C-alpha cells in the first residue's frame, strides 16, 4: 500500500511535536565532538509547498505550524524549531514546510552523515531533489529493511527516526520487530518512533509494546489536540517514543507540552502525556 502522501499532513500538530523533539535530540548528540549518523526510515519528499493542491486539500498546517508562526512568546525549544522553518522563507508569509531530512541536514555538522529511505515512487525523486548534499545518501527502499542494513553505524553513534504512515496495520508490529532487531545490532542508539493516537487497538497498544523492549531508559510524549471522535475514527493526537533518550529531554518537554496544549488544542479534550523510565 503506497497511497499515503505526507503532503496532505505537512506542518500539522504531529509535525510540530515530531520535529521539535527531533531537533532537541540532535542538539544533545552534538554536545560531544564525536560524529554520528542520522537514519530516517520513512523520509518522505523532504519538503512541501503548503499552497499546493495536496496541502490545501486538508490544510492541516493551519492548526499546526501556522498557530505558532507569529507568536512572540515561544519557549526556546519551540522558538528554535519555528526559526528554522522561517529560514526557508524570504518574508513573513508561511508557504513551505520542511520534512525531517531537511531538519536533520540543517542541524547536522560537517562530520555527520544521513541515511535516508523512502519507498514511494513519487516521493523518492522529490526527496533526492530536495535533499542534495555530500553528507546524504538516499535510497528508494523499504525503511525497515534499510535500517537493518545500516546498523551498527561506523561511528557507533546514531539517531534513528522511525516514522511509518501506519496505513497498513502491519506497520505497528513491524516497528516493534525492527526495534527488537536493531537493539541487538546497536543497543546504544537513540531511537525515536512517531505514532498516531487513534481509537484502534493497534495504536493504543504500541506504546505498551515499546515499553517492553530491552532498554534501560525510554520516554513517551503525546500531544492530544482534541477529544477522540464519537465514531472512533480520525487521529486526535500523536506521540513520540524515544529509546535511550537524553536525560535532559523530559524536562524540556515538560516545559513545552502545556504550551502546545494551550495553543494547538482544539477542544476541551486537549491534553498531553509525558512519562519515562530512567536507567
Q: Residue 31 gets which letter from DSSP?
A: T
DSSP class per residue in 242-258: EES--TTHHHHHHHHHH
Rounded to whole angstroms, how far apart are CA atoms 167 and 91? 36
* Greatest pairwise CA separation for the chain in angstroms: 51
- Reported as type and span, the H/E element at residue 40 is strand 37-40
Strand partners, 240: 194, 221
Q: Is 163 a catalytic residue?
A: yes
Residue 111 phi/psi, 5-degree rounding, is -80, -10
Strand boundaries in 86-228, DSSP class E: 96-98, 113-117, 136-139, 158-162, 190-197, 218-224
- Asked whether 148 and 182 are in contact (CB, 8 A), the reply is yes
Task: Tell me the chain's radius of gyration from C-alpha atoms.
Answer: 17
Neighbours of 154 (CB within 10 A): 10
Q: Which residues have CB under 8 Å from 32's CB, separation 6+?
A: 157
Q: Residue 73 gets which letter from DSSP?
A: -
Catalytic: which of 15, 123, 163, 171? 163
Burial 246-266 (b: 16+ CB within 10 A, else e): beebbebbeebbebbbebbbe
Pairing of strands 47-49, 190-197: unpaired
Residues catalogued as catalytic: 163
Amino acid at each position: 500500500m503506497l497511497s499515503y502522501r505526507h503532503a496532505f499532513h505537512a506542518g500539522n500538530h504531529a509535525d510540530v511535536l515530531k520535529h521539535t523533539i527531533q531537533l532537541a535530540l540532535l542538539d544533545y548528540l552534538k554536545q560531544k565532538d564525536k560524529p554520528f549518523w542520522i537514519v530516517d526510515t520513512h523520509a518522505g519528499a523532504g519538503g512541501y509547498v503548503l499552497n499546493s493542491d495536496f496541502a490545501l486539500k486538508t490544510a492541516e498546517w493551519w492548526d499546526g505550524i501556522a498557530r505558532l508562526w507569529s507568536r512572540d512568546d515561544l519557549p526556546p525549544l519551540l522558538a528554535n524549531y519555528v526559526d528554522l522553518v522561517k529560514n526557508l522563507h524570504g518574508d513573513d508569509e508561511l508557504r513551505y514546510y520542511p520534512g525531517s531530512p531537511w531538519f536533520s541536514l540543517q542541524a547536522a555538522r560537517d562530520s555527520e552523515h544521513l541515511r535516508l529511505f523512502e519507498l514511494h515512487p513519487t516521493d523518492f525523486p522529490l526527496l533526492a531533489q530536495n535533499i542534495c548534499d555530500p553528507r546524504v545518501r538516499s535510497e528508494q527502499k523499504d525503511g525497515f529493511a534499510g535500517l537493518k542494513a545500516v546498523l551498527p553505524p561506523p561511528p557507533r553513534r546514531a539517531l534513528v527516526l522511525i516514522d511509518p504512515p501506519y496505513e497498513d496495520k502491519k506497520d505497528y508490529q513491524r516497528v516493534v520487530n525492527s526495534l527488537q532487531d536493531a537493539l541487538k545490532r546497536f543497543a546504544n542508539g537513540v531511537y525515536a518512533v512517531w505514532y498516531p493516537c487513534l481509537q484502534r487497538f493497534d495504536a493504543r497498544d504500541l506504546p505498551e509494546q515499546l515499553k517492553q523492549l530491552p532498554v534501560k531508559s525510554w520516554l513517551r510524549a503525546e500531544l492530544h489536540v482534541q477529544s477522540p471522535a464519537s465514531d472512533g475514527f480520525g487521529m486526535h493526537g500523536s506521540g513520540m517514543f524515544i529509546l535511550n533518550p537524553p536525560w535532559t529531554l523530559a524536562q524540556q518537554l515538560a516545559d513545552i507540552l502545556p504550551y502546545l496544549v494551550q495553543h494547538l488544542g482544539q477542544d476541551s479534550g486537549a491534553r498531553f502525556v509525558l512519562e519515562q523510565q530512567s536507567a
